[in-house]
Amino acid sequence: MDQEFDIVIAGGGVAGLTAALTAARLGCRVLTLIGDILGGLLLSIDKVDGFPGFVDGVPGYDLCPMIQEQAVAAGAEFTATSLDSIEQQNGGWQISSGNEQLRARAVILATGAALKELGVPGEERLRGKGVSHCASCDAPLVRKKTVAVVGGGDSALQEALTLADFAERVVVLQRGSALTAQAVYRDRVANQPKIELRFDSIVEEILGDDKVRGVRIRDAKRNAATDLEVAALFVYVGLQPAAGYLNGHMKLDPLGRIPVDAQMRTELPGLFAAGIVRSGSAGRAVASAGDGAIAAVAAERYLVERI
C-alpha cells in the first residue's frame, strides 16, 4: 500500500464513514482507519431513530456497512487499524498506526466516544457477567427477569425501552431528580408499564460473585442504602470522547472534546474533527454524518487552496 494520502480519516463510525464517502466523491485519495470495529456506537443499536429516510428506524449494524459500501464504490480505502498518534510534518501530517507510518496532507478526526463506566465496586468483576453497555445484544438473555438501567438521558431510556420488550421489569435508576431525555423517549417510557423510574438513586455497588445478582442503591435524599435484586445492569451515564491520541497537541474543551469552527477545522492547519468527538456536537447520528460531510468538503477545499 502506498503510504501517502490526500486525507486520512480516523474513525469508522457514521461521522468517519460519511467523511470518507464525501472526500472520495470529491476525488481525494482517502484512507479511513476504522479502529477496533466498523460502526462505532451505532453498531450496538437495534433501531437508530431519527435518521432521515428511515421511517421506522434502521439498525445501526446495517446503516454503517451501507455507508461504507457507498464509500468504497466512490474509491475510498479502509483499514482495520487505529490512529495512535499524529505529528505535523512538512506542511502535512504523519500518522502512526500500529507498525505503520502514514502521511496525509489533511486529517479528519472522527474517533467518537466510549460509554462511560460507573466506577463502582463490582463493575469490573461483573463486566460481561450481567454488567453491560449493550441492551440490544443482551436483551434476549434477560427474558422474564428484572433488570436495571443506570442513567436518565436519551440512551438510557431508549435502551430501557428495548429491554422492556424482553424483561419482566426494567428499573431505571437516575441519580438526579428528573430525566434529561427528549420528550419522545419520556413519553414512550411513561406508556410502558414494565418500566419503573427511580430518582435520586445512586448506584454504590454491583452485587454478585460470578454474575450480577443485585445492585446497592443510595437514596440521595434520605441518605439510606437499599439492595435491589436484578439479573443485569445496563450502564448509560454519558460518553467519554476518544481523543487521547492528541496527547497535548491542542487544548480540548472541558468535556474532553476537540474544539472546531463551523467548517470542522481545528486550530491546527489541515486538521479537522467531526462527530461526537468534536465540541458542540449535537449528539445524534444525522448530525455526526453531517459533520463528516462538512469536514470532508472543508478538507478538500484546504488541499485545493494549498496547491
Ligand X SMILES: Cc1cc2nc3c(=O)[nH]c(=O)nc-3n(C[C@H](O)[C@H](O)[C@H](O)COP(=O)(O)OP(=O)(O)OC[C@H]3O[C@@H](n4cnc5c(N)ncnc54)[C@H](O)[C@@H]3O)c2cc1C
Binding site for ligand X (CB under 6 A): 10-16, 33-37, 40-42, 45, 48-51, 82-83, 110-113, 115, 155, 158-159, 236, 242, 245, 275-276, 283-286, 288
Q: How far is the CB of 59 from ligand X (least distance, A)?
A: 10
- Using the minimum distance from each CB to ligand X, give the nearer residue, 49 or 200: 49
Give the residue among 111, 133, 82 at the shortest CA–CA distance from 272: 111
- Using the minimum distance from each CB to ligand X, give the nearer residue, 8 or 230: 8
Q: What angle do CA 257, 242, 265 make, to 5 degrees?
A: 45
- Using the minimum distance from each CB to ligand X, give the nearer residue, 32 or 201: 32
Q: How far is the CB of 44 from ligand X (least distance, A)?
A: 7
- Using the minimum distance from each CB to ligand X, give the nearer residue, 136 or 146: 136
Give the residue among 194, 145, 149 at the shortest CA–CA distance from 173: 149
Q: How far is the CB of 145 from ligand X (least distance, A)?
A: 20
> How many CB atoms are closer than 10 A to CB 150?
24
Question: What is the rounded distance in angstroms from the CA atom of residue 80 to the CA atom of residue 82?
Answer: 7
CB burial class (10 A; 0-12, 13-18, 19+) of residue 36? exposed
Beta bridge partners of 127: 131
Residue with C-alpha cell 468538503? 297
Beta bridge partners of 240: 114
- Using the minimum distance from each CB to ligand X, give the nearer residue, 132 or 288: 288
- Using the minimum distance from each CB to ligand X, give the nearer residue, 203 or 295: 295
Q: How far is the CB of 194 from ligand X (least distance, A)?
A: 19
- Using the minimum distance from each CB to ligand X, give the nearer residue, 207 or 293: 293
The DSSP H or E segment spanning 136 is helix 135-138
How far is residue 127 from each of residues 102, 130, 172, 182, 245, measured CA to CA in Å? 36, 6, 19, 29, 26
Q: What is the DSSP string of 249-307?
A: SS---TTSPBP--TT-B-SSTTEEE-GGGBTT---SHHHHHHHHHHHHHHHHHHHHHH-
DSSP assignment letter at 165: T
- Using the minimum distance from each CB to ligand X, give the nearer residue, 135 or 215: 135
Q: How far is the CB of 296 from ligand X (least distance, A)?
A: 13
Q: How far is the CB of 282 from ligand X (least distance, A)?
A: 8
On whether the CB atoms of residues 151 and 118 are closer than 8 A, the answer is: no
Q: How far is the CB of 144 from ligand X (least distance, A)?
A: 23
Q: How far is the CB of 46 from ligand X (least distance, A)?
A: 9
On whether the CB atoms of residues 236 and 256 are closer than 8 A, the answer is: no
